[in-house]
Amino acid sequence: AQSVTQLDSQVPVFEEAPVELRCNYSSSVSVYLFWYVQYPNQGLQLLLKYLSGSTLVKGINGFEAEFNKSQTSFHLRKPSVHISDTAEYFCAVRRNTGFQKLVFGTGTRLLVSP
Amino acid sequence: ETGVTQSPTHLIKTRGQQVTLRCSSQSGHNTVSWYQQALGQGPQFIFQYYREEENGRGNFPPRFSGLQFPNYSSELNVNALELDDSALYLCASSTAGGGGMYEQYFGPGTRLTVT
């Protein structure tokens, strides 16, 4: 079975500052890794995904994430945040074989203030 | 190309009642997954339908059931509603029910409140 841990339930940051949202996972098999964003009263939007290859993955809205297999981590970063980045961010994993069940973390709320 | 749509947007039911939630998958997609997102939690996988058959299920009781239709739209039915069923229900569609990397596209969700 797979599991995801997002240690930070909330991350406050000032506009234009850098941010890192942490994600650690556990799995006995190879996985795909994802970051989703959820704005208030909306569904989930895919920010980026790691399938294989380069461990640094770039996504939409200036976000990037680095896959670290030895530390089983997939932390999300942005060098300069905007007010509009305020949202809930979810890390998710799924097996790279078999059917497409996504396992999500509990989410990190990013609060960007002026 | 239309995205994933869900109806209704909001719903209020009484404990013990039954509810049906609906999802229209994105054009060209033949797989639908349902997730339950309780307040302050991440989404939890309920089940997945591929070509009208359930092909995977999470840790949810049998009173959670579903259907997928020939046009690949889907329904989630919940019987004997309990207060803990109050949540945002998310539908996601993708292009294949097997392995491989097929991105899931999420709908806006249905907010269910059980009183």
pLDDT in tens, B55-70: 889 999 999 999 999 9
Q: What is the pLDDT of residue A41?
A: 80
Q: What is the pLDDT of residue B64?
A: 98
H helical segments located in B23-88:
none
- The more confident residue out of B30 and B84 is B84
List b or e across A13-26, with b for residues whose CB sees 16 or more CB atoms inside 10 angstroms: beeeeebebbbbbe
Cβ proximity of A94 and A104 under 8 Å: no
Share of chain B above pLDDT 70, in %: 93
Q: What is the pLDDT of residue B13?
A: 98
Cβ proximity of A32 and B101 under 8 Å: yes
Amino acid sitting at position B84: D
Q: Across the strands, what pairs with A25?
A: A4
Strand-by-strand arrangement of the B19-24 sheet: B5-7, B19-24, B74-78, B64-68
Q: What is the pLDDT of residue B96?
A: 67
Query: Is the model's pLDDT at B44 over the cut of 90?
Result: yes
Pairing of strands B10-13, B64-68: unpaired
B109 and A43 within 8 Å at the Cβ level: the answer is yes
Q: Name the average pLDDT for chain B.
A: 91
Q: What is the mean pLDDT of residues B28-50?
A: 93
Q: What is the mean pLDDT of residues B49-59?
A: 90
d(CA A54, CA A56): 6
Query: Is the model's pLDDT at B102 over the cut of 80?
Result: no
Q: What is the pLDDT of residue B66?
A: 96
Q: What is the pLDDT of residue A101?
A: 87
B26 touching A (Cβ < 8 Å): no
A56 touching B (Cβ < 8 Å): no
Within a 10 A sphere around the Cβ of B92, how many other Cβ atoms? 26
Which residues of chain A from 74 to 113 reach within 8 Å of chain B, CB to CB? 90, 92, 95-107
Alpha-carbon distances, residue B72 vs A59, A100, B62 (angstroms): 29, 16, 22
Query: Is the model's pLDDT at A61 over the cut of 90?
Result: yes
| Partner-chain residue, chosen from A43, A97, A105, that has the shortest CB–CB distance to B90 | A43
Q: What is the pLDDT of residue B51?
A: 86
Least confident of A31-40, B42-51, B60-69, B89-98: B89-98
d(CA B96, CA B18): 30
Pairing of strands B53-57, B110-114: unpaired
d(CA B7, CA B80): 20
Length of chain A: 114
Q: Give the mutation candidate from B10, B25, B29, B37 for the A interface (greatest A CB count, under 10 A).
A: B37
